[in-house]
Structure 1
Amino acid sequence: MPDTAPSRPATPWSPPAPAAPARTPRERRRTGAEIWIVLGLSLGQSAVYALVNIVARLTAETSLADQSATLNASRSPRPWLDLTYQLLGIGFALVPVVLAIYLLSARGPGTLRRIGFDAARPGRDTAWGVALAAAIGLPGLAFYALGRALGITVSVQASALDAHWWTVPVLILAALQNGLVEEVIAVAYLTERTTDLGWTRLKIIATSALLRGSYHLYQGIGPFLGNVVMGILFAWFYTSRWGRHRVLPLVVAHTVLDVVAFVGYALVPAEWRAGLGIT
């Protein structure tokens, strides 16, 4: 069974200590199986599809630079049905997040506090989130432009939703969904559970970063590399003296980045988008 030893109490200035690692071979096997199940239902599944997708792209007659990827596509020409599909997609995508938190709760009470997914430090968490978004946002845009110039990144359309009263709220919810799924699972859950397996910090950061890069492969080699860098920064921050095992700043940062990308997409002048290769 998963380790149920409670973590030591933490002061406001130090991260909660992780639960004792799984000790017996059976506990380690169950923890490993649990990780694979959670990933198989969420980001691991996306990574496999993205790997198949990039192989298909690279072996296609059309060059990678001339291909495109669409985010937040419309799912029905009927507005009310499109809205329904969008909300259902967002809702069901969050189920693995709930599952991951539920499984972490087997380690003892205070799960949300242990991974920093609570409202204990709203101001500090928000400030760190905005700072991380700024640190990633502009370099990320430059990296995307470089990838387009080198022909290793597809043209990305951030939103293909038709203009409705609900378009912007849905895009904001989609951004929040991405932030929750990726940061809670790829950083907080994966870090906590691999720590239970006795992994080193370096191995945890590398695994989290490679996972993040892998499920972005459908956008090309450039986004894979860019997201690996982002994954290194986010996983390092989470385990650092500044991050203090708090995932909320990462959720804020990711959500801000995606809101700017999704909602701000329509506000960018067409000639700028053309220059960046964004259709």
Structure 2
Amino acid sequence: MPAGRSEVNTWGTALYAARVDSSGDARDPAAPPPGDRAVRRRLTTEIWIVLGLSLGKAAVYAVVSLVAMLTAGTPLAEQTVALNPSRSPRPYLDLTYQLLAIGFAVLPVALALYLLSANGRSAVRRIGLDRARPWRDLGVGVGLAAVIGIPGLGLWAVGRAVGITVEVQASALNDAWWTVPVLILAALQNALIEEVVAVGYLMERLRELRWSTPAIIAASALLRGSYHLYQGWGPFFGNVVMGVVFAEYYRRRRRVMPLVVAHTVLDIVAFVGYASLPDAWLEAIGVT
């Protein structure tokens, strides 16, 4: 029996077992365990729900934003997108809103991990989100950040030069004592939701649905690119490339923690660097 079919059957058996009450008797003794087709249909529905609550929703909004920008009558290169905006002119109310937004944004991560643990396995160990190799994960993550980040700057510059990338303000937060900590938390939030959902969760579920390896990697990479479309075509292609690299790493190592580290480092450099560098330096690299 193919490995994928065995995993689907195992998941279906787990669903059936969950219907047994504490006394050990089945709630419906006449009902057989769900078949492959029913389990596959349930898994597919589950994927759409998880994505609809997280990155899929972001992708839809990003597509609408891109269409709006393309039909605005102004070239993409002359348009601006602000990340991490302030939510109130009152500093402590702004901080409250920022922390609430970050907290609620990571709930789909908890949902994805919960669903991956439905068969009794630890989801964090299953996708390598644990702390089993902290120093190795840190080293690999920083290395991946350099491999992705340095060429990414070049691609960004090219995109700005040819007019397919909008001007991005990486941090539009008001200056306060909590600005940098909040930006670091926002970077970690982005890393967790993107790497856990778009890589760990999605690739595990598509493997259970017996998708081919190229199709799984393509789906993960295209999803990553799609929710960056609000920044223009340049970031879309750049994030697709990043998605291929990260998905292939996960396929080989089955560890998502180094990807979370890499993504966090990339976003901290972008967010905190934007908030800290002088305007003249930012203008020199075309991000203001």
Which is worse superposed, 106-115 or 130-139?
106-115
Secondary structure in 2 matching 1:75: coil
Q: 1:81 to 1:225 in 2, by over 3 A?
A: same
* 1:163 has 2:165 as partner: no
1:253 to 262, 272, 284: 262
- Equivalent in the alignment of 2:17: none
Structure 2 letter corresponding to 1:94: V
How many angstroms apart in 1 are the aligned matches of 2:189 and 2:82? Answer: 17
1:69 to 78, 81, 99: 81
Secondary structure in 2 matching 1:156: strand
Secondary structure in 1 matching 2:81: strand
How many angstroms apart in 2 are the aligned matches of 1:196 and 1:96? Answer: 20
Offset from partner CA, 1:70-116 (integer Å, 9 cap, x none): 00000000001000000000000000000000000013322211100
- Equivalent in the alignment of 2:159: 147
2:285 to 269, 276, 279: 276
2:215 to 203, 206, 213: 203
How many angstroms apart in 2 are the aligned matches of 1:260 and 1:120? Answer: 26
How many angstroms apart in 2 are the aligned matches of 1:107 and 1:124? Answer: 29
How many angstroms apart in 2 are the aligned matches of 1:268 and 1:140? Answer: 19
- Equivalent in the alignment of 1:178: 190
Contact 2:203 2:216 in 1 (8 A): yes
1:187 to 165, 178, 199: 199
Secondary structure in 2 matching 1:246: coil
Q: 1:124 to 1:40 in 2, by over 3 A?
A: same
Structure 2 letter corresponding to 1:195: R
- Equivalent in the alignment of 1:46: 58
How many angstroms apart in 1 are the aligned matches of 2:137 and 2:172? Answer: 32
How many angstroms apart in 1 are the aligned matches of 2:266 and 2:165? Answer: 19
- Equivalent in the alignment of 2:123: 111
Contact 1:5 1:108 in 2 (8 A): no
- Equivalent in the alignment of 1:13: none
- Equivalent in the alignment of 1:129: 141
- Equivalent in the alignment of 1:228: 240
Aligned-pair CA distance for 1:200: 1.4
Contact 1:148 1:276 in 2 (8 A): no
Larger radius of gyration: 2
Offset from partner CA, 1:7-44 (integer Å, 9 cap, x none): xxxxxxxxxxxxxxx96110000000000000000000
- Equivalent in the alignment of 1:3: 11
Secondary structure in 2 matching 1:3: helix
Structure 2 letter corresponding to 1:24: D
How many angstroms apart in 1 are the aligned matches of 2:286 and 2:222? Answer: 26
TM (normalized to structure 1)? 0.91
Structure 2 letter corresponding to 1:50: A
Aligned-pair CA distance for 1:274: 1.4
User: Which segments of 5 or more consecutive residues in structure 1 lack a partner in the other structure?
Assistant: 7-21
Contact 1:4 1:108 in 2 (8 A): no
Secondary structure in 1 matching 2:11: coil
Offset from partner CA, 1:157-215 (integer Å, 9 cap, x none): 00011111111100000000000000000000001000110011111110000000000
Secondary structure in 1 matching 2:168: strand
Runs of 4+ in 1 over 4 A off after TM superposition: none
Secondary structure in 1 matching 2:200: helix
- Equivalent in the alignment of 2:112: 100
Aligned-pair CA distance for 1:267: 3.3
How many angstroms apart in 2 are the aligned matches of 1:23 and 1:174? Answer: 42
RMSD, aligned α-carbons? 1.5
Aligned-pair CA distance for 1:270: 2.5
Structure 2 letter corresponding to 1:28: R
User: Which segments of 5 or more consecutive residues in structure 2 lack a partner in the other structure?
Assistant: 1-7, 15-33
Secondary structure in 2 matching 1:170: helix
